[in-house]
Amino acid sequence: MFKQGSSHHEICSFISSKLSQAGLSQKLTIIDPYGLAYDIQRPKNLKNPTTILTEILEPLRGCFHSLELVIGLQNSTNRPEQHVDTLKSNLGVDIQVLRAPSFHDRFWIVDDRLAFIVGTSLNSFGNKHFFIQNSFLDHEDTELLLNLYRNGVTN
């Protein structure tokens, strides 16, 4: 559980360690409908998702090759192209952005085999109380989640 006001460094470190312990070796999929929403001219309380993802994944550079970002529908603040080139440069991985508008919750999936729930979007870390699941979803739920997002993707 992370309390409101938790530093994004603490949160990023926790997730990075969790991914490392899970044995991330190929692909990380992040389903986060609002995680890439960021307007540099009106940041409000939103953090730059490029900065957050780089801090989480930089320690794992070279351990995985692909990052799938599954987001909701594109709007004026949810434009992934503003992040992809920077992330590719920072992390040295292939990045694919997919749209699956039927999701509300946030899930992180390691190598299509282990999934866990993150209770807030990347760009809102520390704004309110939230949790990151300590364990992983069971195999059946992970398979269901993979099927739901793969079948719900729009390009």
67 assigned to some structural domain:
yes
139 assigned to some structural domain:
yes
26 assigned to some structural domain:
yes
pLDDT at res. 45:
63
86 assigned to some structural domain:
yes
Q: Which domain holds residue 117?
A: 8-151
Total tally of structural domains belonging to the chain: 1
pLDDT at res. 76:
47
In this prediction the pTM is 0.90
1 assigned to some structural domain:
no
**Which H, E and C letters describe the chain, residue by residue?**
CECCCCCHHHHHHHHHHHHHHCCCCCEEEEECCCCCCCCCCCCCCCCCHHHHHHHHHHHHCCCCCEEEEEECCCCCCCCCHHHHHHHHHHHCCEEEEEECCCCCCEEEEECCCEEEEECCCHHHCCCCCECECCCCCCHHHHHHHHHHHHHCCEC
- Give the residues of the chain that fall short of pLDDT 50: 76
3 assigned to some structural domain:
no
2 assigned to some structural domain:
no
CATH number of the domain that residue 118 is part of: 3.30.870
16 assigned to some structural domain:
yes
